[in-house]
Homo-oligomer: A and B are copies of this chain.
Amino acid sequence: MSLYSEIFYSSEINELFSDKNVVAEMLQFEATLAVSQAKEGVIPTSAAEIIGQCCHTDFIDFERLKTDIKLSGNAAIPLVKQLTEIVKQKDSEAAKYVHLGATSQDVVDTATVLQIKDFIDWLEERIGLLEHHLITLTNKHCNTFMIGRTLLQQAKPITFGLKTALWLESIVRSKVRIEEAKKRVLVIQLAGAVGSQNQQINPKVKALFAEILDVETANSWHSNRDNLAEFASVLGILNGGLGKIAKDVTLLMQTEVGEVFEGAAAGKGGSSTMPHKRNPVTSTAILANANRVPHLVSTMLSGMAQEHERSAGLWHSEWEVLTEIMKLTAGTLERGIELIESLEVDENRMLENLEITQGLIYAENVSLALASKIGKSAAHELVENACKSAVSEHKHLKEKLIELSVDLSENELNELFKPENSIGLSLEIIDGILGKV
């Protein structure tokens, strides 16, 4: 694997998609096909046993395989050829039953599905972990005041817990999407040369084959790739959700903002010549992936108009791209967990930053309070002018309002300039979200 195998990816998922594991899943296809056919009386049980014994990656010549893939156009043709030779050495009769009735795309597609299945298992467990950390963070900071920002401008106060609760909601929706997509994507491909099946892969064989592999049965999807495109999209959306979190963190980590920080670790994100720097390394990796994955998803969508019963090129374009989407998603998610698990929050800086505008973020509070006393229009006009004066005179708005002797007691004014009185229904929203997960 490349220099960047750890920063953008997950080691576990890199391993899942190693050449060896890809080939192992293809061999799993052949062994399972044989045993299913044997149980349904299509081939001799002895043949299935021998085939099963030969379905091990140790027997495969990987270098020859790569070269032959170039000649034959996919991985299954030369793999089946090697497997057949291996079986033949044990029992030439059994060799006749290798891959019986199946087509090369059946092997490649089903092997992909089996890897997707393992990937989803990993993914769901990790999303659970991410949710857990987000829930913890939200609970901890449900009442931590900070400024809400729109178009990168300070707007009005919220709590940090509201921000993280909304992050959480997006991740939870991604979890549901994966669940829904699973029904469609976790299905066998076993349809024969042109998708019409045949007696060797009759419905009973298919049902058993699917049962053993623990996925659903299906008609040919050789050139109907909507399920894979959907799965790619769903992962793209998960990446986007994590990209949003990472974007917020990088912005909050800015030297001029300084409200949250990635957890420190020895050697992480520092600079020897710039001692003040604390680079958002983990978020940066997530954002890099978030810039890449959407384009890989659209490669899958662009590849859907596949010709006839099997495409000349579009199917082939999926192989590495779908794998890359899964691998990058794993990296994004793993980085996301690391990020949330160790996120440091500077509550004091959040409070300080609420004061940067010298009270202007509370102007609407004052306006609403005054309205009940002097009427809406008058209140609005008064506050607008007070704001202008405060800015031009570099004064705090509250100070200016006192100067102007507005019809509000100092106590009333103090209350109006407190973040706790300006966070809307943040707490209720957080409760609602946490109550549902």
Which listed residue, B157, B277, B353, touches A256 by the CB 8 Å rule? B353
**Nearest-CB distance from A221 to chain B (Å)?**
8
Interface size class of A (residues with CB under 8 A): 35 or more
For the complex, is A257 an interface residue (Cβ under 8 Å from B)?
yes
A152 shortest CB reach to chain B, Å: 5
Q: Is A268 a contact partner of B71 (Cβ separation < 8 A)?
A: yes
User: Does A169 contact B279, Cβ atoms closer than 8 Å?
Assistant: no
**Contacting pair A364 B267 (CB below 8 A):** no
Cβ of B292 and Cβ of A317 under 8 Å apart?
Answer: yes
> How many copies of this chain does one complex carry?
4
- Contact between B148 and A194 (Cβ–Cβ < 8 Å)? yes
Contact residues in B for A432 (Cβ distance below 8 Å): 219
Does chain B have a CB within 8 A of A227?
yes
- Pairwise interchain contact A5-B66, C-beta atoms closer than 8 A: yes
CB distance B226 to A276 under 8 Å?
no
11 A-B pairs whose Cβ atoms sit less than 8 Å apart in the complex: A70-B281, A73-B285, A150-B279, A153-B255, A165-B219, A193-B274, A196-B429, A256-B356, A276-B363, A280-B312, A287-B313
B301 touches A293 (CB 8 A): yes
In the complex, what residues of B have CB within 8 A of residue A155's CB? 193-194, 274, 277, 309-310
**Cβ of A72 < 8 Å from any Cβ of B?**
yes
Cβ–Cβ < 8 Å partners of A255 in chain B: 147, 149, 152-154, 356-357
Contact of A229 among B203, B236, B253 (CB under 8 A): B236
Interface string of A276-302 (1 = CB under 8 A from B): 111111011111111111111111011
**CB proximity of A241 to chain B, nearest CB, Å:** 6
Residue A408 interfacial (CB < 8 Å): no
Give chain B nearest CB distance to A376 CB in angstroms. 5
A151 CA / B316 CA spacing, docked (Å):
11
Does A395 have its Cβ within 8 Å of any Cβ on chain B?
Answer: no
Please name all residues of chain B whose beta carbon is closer than 8 Å to the beta carbon of A257 when the two chains form the complex: 254, 256
- Contact between A312 and B283, CB atoms less than 8 A apart: yes
Please tell me which one of the listed residues B69, B174, B224 contacts residue A4 in the complex, with CB atoms under 8 A apart.
B69
Interface string of A195-225 (1 = CB under 8 A from B): 1111000110000000000000001111111
Among A67, A194, A197, A219, the most chain B Cβ lie within 10 Å of the Cβ of A194
